[in-house]
Structure 1
Amino acid sequence: MTQGSLSEEALRQIRLFRRQYLQLLDAQNLAWPSSETLRSSQAQEWIYEHLFQTDDVSHFLPPERYRLLILKPLMSKIENSIVDPEEDEISDNLMSTLAELMFSPMPDDATAAQQRNWVTYTPLSKDSPSLDKEPELKLLENRAVISGAGTTGLRTWEAALHLSSYLISTPELIASIKGKRVIELGAGTGLLSILCASHLGASQVVATDGDEGVVQALHENAAFNDVKDAMDIGVLWWGRALKGSWMFEKDPSVSCDLVLGADVTYDKAVIPALVSTMRDMFEVWPHVQIIISATIRNSDTFAAFEYACAHNEFNVHEVDYPLIPMEQQTSLFHSTAVSIKIFSITAPAKQRDPYAI
């Protein structure tokens, strides 16, 4: 099907809807296309081909339960959009897909909660031109499961999405990443690391996490996105000597230009170890910049991080990148119900003596 018969506004609506759908947004957060758009047979076929058709792309589609959850109200909206029953049609392909999904055996809630599913992210800034084929990152995630080590690195959290949005929307940062070496702390599913390796032109990305199960999943996601050769992935425990880590065993002269961390200030108990690792990084790479994206769930926890940074005389600057309400977001969708702040952190003007009392 060609897109020439669809208006620019109709294409804008259905492309936005597709991005949200592939990111598995809750139905109440979807920007449903207008009745005028849904009434169009061309729009219906576009939706079928790009959201529900299983040929060739079924490996990356949302789970069947989610497809059914979205297709049922979508069909209802299409039916309600009909003005002239003799002229306006409902896609046979969409109706057949709905019937197939309704009669397909579905896992129960407990089983579904344990399954890993494809989540597709579209790294587009608000100023990105309209593209027939949009850039995508596909990650296997489990949004309901906490890993064996008690961490939550099997899903992508709001702070990572907000920081990703900031990176792709800031020309100076894009320029500073291209051709440079990036390290991510607490990488989780790897969204930020894979974004830097696949779309922002980093020469090498080191993705680290403190959970071996999460690191194994990171290897898979890097391979799925064809960036495994551009990434080093491994376990890094905060608070332990950086120079004794696998990064330096692999390359004693390893360098770093930028460090990223999203949602790494989640627990007051991890703050001392995190800040210790940051201090190590400044001692090894005095000119490195660390960018932290923090969801402020607990003001006391974040205050502990701020205090630790001040105690170590880090230069901390809050980045002016306000949250965009979800209904105004066009990609990398994330809730703004809780405050998210981004900080740029650099080394003290004079390095602190690590042996000083």
Structure 2
Amino acid sequence: MDELQVLSQLRILRHQYFQLVEPYQLRWPDSAILKAPDVQSWLFTNLFDADGITSPPPQRYQHRVLKLLISKLEKSIDNPEEDRRCLFNHLLTWFFPCEQEISNDLMSAMGTLLTSCVPSEADSAQQKAFVTYSYPLHLNNGSTSDERTVTLLEARSVISSSGTTGLRTWEAALLLGSYLASESGRTIIRGKRLFELGAGTGMLSILCAKYLEVAGIVATDGDEAVVDAIKTNMFLNGLDTDDSSGCQVRTAALKWGWPMDATTFSEDYGMETPDVLFGADVTYDKSVIPRLVSTMWEFFELNSALQVFISATIRNEQTFETFLNACKRNGFGFEQIDCPPVPEHDQVGPFYPTSTPIQIWRITRSQVAKDPFAI
């Protein structure tokens, strides 16, 4: 295996690690590669160097991954009994001569984690943590670049007091992000004004504002606490409302079903009427579909040429069928975008399960709607 192939494997592992993929799902290079001193040095620098990584995973997660890595290195040692005893002593005293097998840096990182007050699994699951999503840019030579990353503070196991699921990023958003970052998606949104419904963590809006050359974007959610979290995540990614990047970036609370005032839209949202409206995982609750479709109708009233993109994990086919029927009865045209999920074993970032279908639909206005609440 040549150097570029090894580096590609290591980058995929890094993408998984910073997205907090479960350790047992990480795609490790084989033992012969892991044993190489330069590979171990790369792993320490890029995964476990506390002084050089600005948005690290939780310590509990680091500990689980590093423990697994050291276990793999132990098993690759040529003389298991002798070197395992040496490894144990090295962990305790840090100066036994095992550095030819497992690097001092990796062992020191494990020692630091073992002596830290690492929270329990239960406590760790309830805390907000840095999660980094990678959308590698595919270059002309077939290689990829790591330049497109979005780092968020997420509460992956927490639902807020108001019952929202907007404090973590869901798989439908990850697939929609892949589409928007593709050549086809970039052609649609480049230079356009975007408006996101049910933005949750703000991952999609941040991706578009940071990398995809949009003119402006408003990230909205119906929960004020979630909107505050979006502001924090935008700050983490170097975005603010000062238009310093050349892209207008705004956040706002938006309750679906309320009428839009065309004369005050710019004043309310700091942006002219949008060209593209999008939302991910916004159709999972049948009870909100009338209000969602009503809001889409209001946006079409503002701009009849609007394009709407809805990404949905199809957990309940009847619920999603209710959404499509509502669109049909309101005079909306719709078509499914050809952007199937990447099989899990081929994903290079972001990473998401594919056991439940995920679909992206483009919705347009084909005629004047008479009843925005029609279902």
What TM-score results when the alignment is normalised by the length of structure 2? 0.87
Q: Does structure 2 conserve the Cα–Cα contact (< 8 Å) formed by 1:180 and 1:202?
A: yes
Q: Which residue of 2 aligns with 1:60?
A: 55
1:236 Cα offset (Å): 0.5
Q: Does structure 2 conserve the Cα–Cα contact (< 8 Å) formed by 1:115 and 1:142?
A: yes
Amino acid across the alignment from 1:351: V
CA–CA separation in structure 2 for the residues paired with 1:329 and 1:78: 25
Q: How does 1:206-285 map to 2 (within 5 A)?
A: 206-229=218-241, 230-243=248-261, 247-250=265-268, 254-285=272-303
Q: Does structure 2 conserve the Cα–Cα contact (< 8 Å) formed by 1:126 and 1:330?
A: no
Q: Which residue of 2 aligns with 1:3?
A: none
Q: Which residue of 1 aligns with 2:190?
A: 178
Amino acid across the alignment from 1:141: E
Amino acid across the alignment from 2:356: V
What are the superposed Cα offsets for residues 293-350 of structure 1, whole Å, 9 maximum, x if unpaired?
00001112111111111111210001111121111100111111111010000012x2
Task: Say whether 1:352 aligns with 2:348.
Answer: no
Deviation >6 Å, runs of 4+? 84-87
* RMSD of aligned residue pairs (Cα, Å): 2.3
1:88 Cα offset (Å): 4.6
Pair 1:48–1:252, CA change in 2 (3 A): closer
Q: Which residue of 1 aligns with 2:165?
A: 152
Q: Which of 21, 42, 45 lines up with 1:25 in the alignment?
A: 21
SS at match of 2:112: helix
CA–CA separation in structure 2 for the residues paired with 1:280 and 1:77: 57
Q: Does structure 1 conserve the Cα–Cα contact (< 8 Å) formed by 2:172 and 2:312?
A: yes
Q: Does structure 1 conserve the Cα–Cα contact (< 8 Å) formed by 2:216 and 2:271?
A: no
Amino acid across the alignment from 2:120: D
Pair 1:177–1:253, CA change in 2 (3 A): closer
Q: Does structure 1 conserve the Cα–Cα contact (< 8 Å) formed by 2:194 and 2:217?
A: yes
Mind listing any 5+ residue stretches in structure 2 that lack a counterpart? Answer: 84-97, 242-247
Q: How does 1:1-357 map to 2 (within 5 A)?
A: 7-57=3-53, 59-83=54-78, 88-125=100-137, 130=143, 134-169=147-182, 171-229=183-241, 230-243=248-261, 247-250=265-268, 254-348=272-366, 350-354=367-371
What are the superposed Cα offsets for residues 173-194 of structure 1, whole Å, 9 maximum, x if unpaired?
2022222100000000011100
CA–CA separation in structure 1 for the residues paired with 2:343 and 2:144: 24
Pair 1:252–1:44, CA change in 2 (3 A): closer
Q: Does structure 2 conserve the Cα–Cα contact (< 8 Å) formed by 1:118 and 1:139?
A: yes
Q: Does structure 2 conserve the Cα–Cα contact (< 8 Å) formed by 1:124 and 1:168?
A: no
Q: Does structure 2 conserve the Cα–Cα contact (< 8 Å) formed by 1:125 and 1:165?
A: no
Amino acid across the alignment from 2:258: R
Identity score, percent: 43
Q: Does structure 2 conserve the Cα–Cα contact (< 8 Å) formed by 1:82 and 1:88?
A: no
SS at match of 2:261: helix
Mind listing any 5+ residue stretches in structure 1 that lack a counterpart? Answer: 1-5
Pair 1:211–1:89, CA change in 2 (3 A): same
CA–CA separation in structure 2 for the residues paired with 1:204 and 1:178: 10
Q: Does structure 2 conserve the Cα–Cα contact (< 8 Å) formed by 1:125 and 1:331?
A: no
CA–CA separation in structure 2 for the residues paired with 1:38 and 1:328: 21
What TM-score results when the alignment is normalised by the length of structure 1? 0.92
Pair 1:76–1:255, CA change in 2 (3 A): same
